Amino acid sequence: MGIIIKQSIKSTVYAYIGAVIGLVNFGILMPKLMSTEEIGLIRYILSIVLLLSQFSGLGLSNITNRLFPYFRNKEKNHNGFFTLGLIISGMGTLLSIILYFSLESTFSMGENQEIVFSDYVFYILPLSIITILWNYFDNFFRVLFNATIGVFLKELVARILFSVGIVLFYLELIDFDIFVFSYFLAYSLPTFILAILLLIKKEFVIQVPRPYLIKKLNYQILNIGAFGMLTGFSSIAILQFDSVMLKLWTDLSVVGVYTTMYFFAVMILLPSRSIKKIATIVVSESWKNNDKENILSIYFKSTITQLIIGAYLFLGIWTNIDNIIAVLGPEYEIGRYVVLLIGLTNVIDMFSGVNQAIISTSKKYKYASVFMIVMLALIVLTNWIFIPIYGITGAAIASLIAMFVTTLLRYLFVWKTFNLQPYNYKHLIVIAISFFTYFISYNLPVIANEYFDIILKGTVITILFSFMIYFSKVSEDINDKAEGLFKLLFKTKK
């Protein structure tokens, strides 16, 4: 767990610096400077790009995570694995081109707003191709046990560049069309930087993959790729499909409100993403070595650590929901319960730990696709039911139901199939601490200035929650890091 904790902390620092920048960009500046319709346009384009590129990725991320350990050999350029990934990426690019021209006319269905989406549809294809390459390059760095560079580029560098675009738009040096271009330029640049870094590190090597390995693993490559494509597409669709379905039933303005409020709730997941990225690689190595004891240790620590972090962040965000709406403006009031429901959805996801990684890197990897397809089906069905009834809140209800059902099914599968069960009384202690902290923070006096009120509530939650978590000793990893921080802050010279 050491390499996981080390890189997770580093990645989380980058992610949260980026999150602060993102919070200023998406949570404060854009709602003040742009209409909800303009915000909805950008997020809708990005949703389509992510759906298209993930489906066209042909399961390459799963192939890399699961099979790269068999190719790993620095002296032999990892037996040509990088070239194999480029070939699969090229095939995915051809598929994305076919899908784009097949679906181009449907992307603009239901347009009835001032902004005409068809005027911006041409961004989708090049961004989809760039995203396919990004996914591969970033994943290749991760299997080389460097999960931080991708986070740094995507969460920090790209958002700083996006901030520059917002400033230029605010100063009226560029119009909205140029701003959209600048946003997607910032989105694309990290891919090219990763390619350059791979060249510098001499990992961008074109070499024919070792025939004996291809022959030996051919069946697994095809199967893992096929099921990985379904899994990867489903995972992205679960996150993006609600925006697409909202666009079909409502308009870009509602999508803008939803994605803005969704942004606050999704901040809860940032540490989880960093943990799961590197944990997937370590779990894959553990399966290769048949080290179930290490897998169980990672499983338990991931559930308790992520529950603590997720609960803390959820408390901070939901306790300040009135302040968030006051800052954004009254038009965002309709998204109040999006924050609550998506926040709970993300806490449930974090509470499940790395059970998805355990399944996807095991011999039962096909079931990872089954569970993701089940979740996607639930997302589509529940969105279809609840959006027409509850609108923007219905999309959030759909996500919560789908996540709860799928998480429960995955937990039961891992328990019964691999005899891995990570939960104990410590998780109940964390939940009890969370409820107690919420009760205290909810009953604090309200300060008229929303910014000072956020600071007051945030300070109380941080002190109270951290104090109880530390002294309850529910997480060995968190206590170790806290004690290391204490020694660093309070060390004295001998």
User: Are residues 232 and 61 in contact, defined by beta-carbon separation less than 8 angstroms?
Assistant: yes
Segments making up each domain of the chain, as ranges: 250-484
Q: What pLDDT shows up at residue 6? A: 63
Q: Which of 29-43, 237-251, 351-365, 470-484 has the lowest mean pLDDT?
A: 237-251
Confidence at 8, pLDDT banded by 50, 70, 90:
low
Average pLDDT over residues 218-233: 69
Mean of pLDDT over the chain: 83
Instruction: Give 63-83 pLDDT, tens digit per residue.
Output: 877 777 777 777 777 667 788
Whole-number Å distance between alpha carbons of 164 and 438:
37
Q: What pLDDT shows up at residue 2? A: 52
Q: What pLDDT shows up at residue 34? A: 84
- Residue-wise DSSP of 15-65: HHHHHHHHIIIIIIIHHHHS-HHHHHHHHHHHHHHHHHHHHHTTTHHHHHH
Residue corresponding to tokens 């998805």: 356
Query: Above 90 in pLDDT, residue 414?
Result: yes
Q: What pLDDT shows up at residue 250? A: 75
Q: What pLDDT shows up at residue 494? A: 41
Q: What pLDDT shows up at residue 191? A: 92
Its sign, for the CA torsion 162, 167, 168, 169, is positive
Nearest to 201 by CA among 144, 130, 136, 274: 144
User: Are residues 335 and 43 in contact, defined by beta-carbon separation less than 8 angstroms?
Assistant: no
Whole-number Å distance between alpha carbons of 237 and 487:
45
Average pLDDT over residues 361-365: 83
Does residue 56 or residue 435 have the better pLDDT?
A: 435
Instruction: Give 299-331 pLDDT, tens digit per residue.
Output: 998 899 999 999 999 999 999 999 999 888 888
Q: What pLDDT shows up at residue 493? A: 45
Q: End-to-end CA distance of the chain: give it in Å, rounded.
A: 33
Q: What pLDDT shows up at residue 339? A: 94
Q: Which of 222-226, 387-391, 400-404 has the lowest mean pLDDT?
A: 222-226
User: Are residues 276 and 353 in contact, defined by beta-carbon separation less than 8 angstroms?
Assistant: no
Crossing angle of the two packed helices 36-56 and 176-200, in degrees rounded to 10: 30
Query: Above 50 in pLDDT, residue 171?
Result: yes
Average pLDDT over residues 232-242: 71
Tell me the percentage of the chain whose pLDDT exceeds 90: 26
**Which of the listed ranges 138-152, 256-270, 309-323, 471-485 does the model predict with the highest average pLDDT?**
309-323
Query: Above 60 in pLDDT, residue 111?
Result: no
Does residue 226 or residue 88 have the better pLDDT?
A: 88
Query: Above 60 in pLDDT, residue 150?
Result: yes
User: Are residues 59 and 95 in contact, defined by beta-carbon separation less than 8 angstroms?
Assistant: no
Its sign, for the CA torsion 353, 355, 356, 362, is positive
Query: Above 70 in pLDDT, residue 228?
Result: no
- pTM comes to 0.74
Q: What pLDDT shows up at residue 7? A: 64
The pair of three-digit structure tokens given for residue 4, joined into one six-digit string: 């996981």
Confidence at 491, pLDDT banded by 50, 70, 90:
low
Query: Above 70 in pLDDT, residue 101?
Result: yes
Confidence at 214, pLDDT banded by 50, 70, 90:
low
